[in-house]
Amino acid sequence: MFKRSFTPGTIRHWINDLRRHRANSMQIDGLLMLVCSLAVFAGSGALTYLVCLAMVYRTARTSGTGTSPADSAVVMGVNLKPDGSLKNDYVTRLCRAKDTDAREIWVLGGVTSTKVPGSEARAGRAWLIDNAVPAQRIRVEESSRHTLENLSRLRDQAEADSRFALISNRYHLARVGAMAAGLGMDHTLCAAENEAGIPVRDSPKALAEAFFLHWYFTGKAIAHLLGHKGMLARIS
């Protein structure tokens, strides 16, 4: 009679297979929702996209820059340069966090490229410490790969009654806010830049953010329509 042996190597193999299956499933879901988003875009004559673009600009114009001592300040990560150094947008976010009066600072962002040494969160933490922020005040979440994962894992790791001040560049705030609301997070949006609105130089980023926001809203609507438990679990 065949007898299966439960060795540590076998268990690790099963775990890796499960992780690959879940990752593939998430990639397939994401690609399907991208196709659906493009179909909605075309079917509406780009009207739905323009609504998202207006939301990006309205949020950028109306978001404040303050936090309260009861908040957990949250710095959304930015892809690092190939040498591991920080991009200007990331530094702008970290500067806002450094000056905040929030009780703690969360820095988010995992390893998004095999060519970059270390995670976004660790690089951000190092910058804050180098700029006189006490290490004990900083917490990191570095296992996520994109904005939705950033927020979902933050919610799971933080205290249940936490209120979050989500810090990002103004062009990014609409998507951050929509995803945080979808996850049921008690939050406020905190702009990294002092000036309201989106400068002309960031217009391409705003256009891209509207596309990602459109993709997110399309996926969310379809997940609810189909009652897709896997997708709903990731966005709520």
CA 234 to CA 60: how far, in whole Å?
A: 26
DSSP letter for each residue of 78-134: -PPPTTSPPPHHHHHHHHHHHT---SEEEEE-----TTSSS-HHHHHHHHHHHTT--
Q: What is the pLDDT of residues 20-78, one digit of tens each?
A: 433 444 467 778 888 889 999 999 999 999 999 999 999 999 999 999 898 999 999 99
Of 50, 137, 142, nearest in space to 102 by CA? 137
144: confidence class by pLDDT, cuts 50, 70, 90: confident
Residue 59 to residues 64, 69, 167, 209: CA-CA distances in angstroms?
Answer: 10, 23, 13, 12
Q: Provide the whole-model pTM.
A: 0.84
Query: Is 204 contained in some domain?
Result: no
DSSP letter for each residue of 6-64: --HHHHHHHHHHHHHHHHHHHHHHHHHHHHHHHHHHHHTTTHHHHHHHHHHHHHHHH-B
Query: Is 141 contained in some domain?
Result: yes
Do 177 and 98 belong to one domain?
yes
Do 186 and 223 belong to one domain?
no
Residue 224, domain extent: 12-55+210-235
The enclosing domain of 96 has a CATH number of: 3.40.50.620
Do 137 and 226 belong to one domain?
no
